[in-house]
Amino acid sequence: MSIIKKNIIFDLNGVLFKKDLHRPGTMVPLAEGVALLHECHVYHDLYVCSNMKADYLEHLQKDYPDIMNVFKAIVTPQIASAEKPSKEIFMYLLEQYQLLPEESLLLDDHEMNIVAVESLGLKGIHVVDFDEVRQQLKQLSILSGD
């Protein structure tokens, strides 16, 4: 099976990171999400679309450069003047980085964001169970079935 190259857009909170209960104001990586990120990075261009506040984002970029540096771009409400699930934030990402909706996919833990991107012609996967997400990506020929 050959891989179909996509622009994969990740949400940060709930997909790649979670709040650190032991250190208020900080976040820690979700191992399953980071593993999926690295699998996707082999074949695809990666982007972030997140409602994350600037101070959290700065913390992630400083403390987790191995994760954050794989992204071609990070779009937040401060940059796009819109926030998820508004279609405007997704349209900003598509237009600013010249991404085609049919070549792009969002991984997000909020169903309302999936509905928003799908109305723009993107594919969306609701991240609840990482094994299920991986299976869906294999079915879409986005990840290798090996």
Tell me how far apart the terminal alpha carbons of the chain are, to the nearest angstrom: 9
Tens of pLDDT, residue by residue over 98-130, are 999 999 999 999 999 999 999 999 999 999 999
The answer to whether 46 and 37 have CB atoms below 8 angstroms apart is yes
Q: Whole-angstrom Cα distance, residue 9 to residue 107?
A: 6
What's the mean per-residue pLDDT of the chain? 96
In this structure, what DSSP letter does residue 146 have? Answer: -
Query: Would you say residue 1 has pLDDT above 70?
Result: no
Query: Would you say residue 146 has pLDDT above 70?
Result: no
Q: Percentage of the chain with pLDDT > 70?
A: 99
Phi, psi of 135, rounded to the nearest 5 degrees: -60, -45
Query: What pLDDT, on the 0 to 100 scale, is given for residue 26?
Result: 87
Rg (C-alpha) for the chain, rounded Å, is 14
Q: What are the chain's domains?
A: 7-139 (3.40.50.1000)
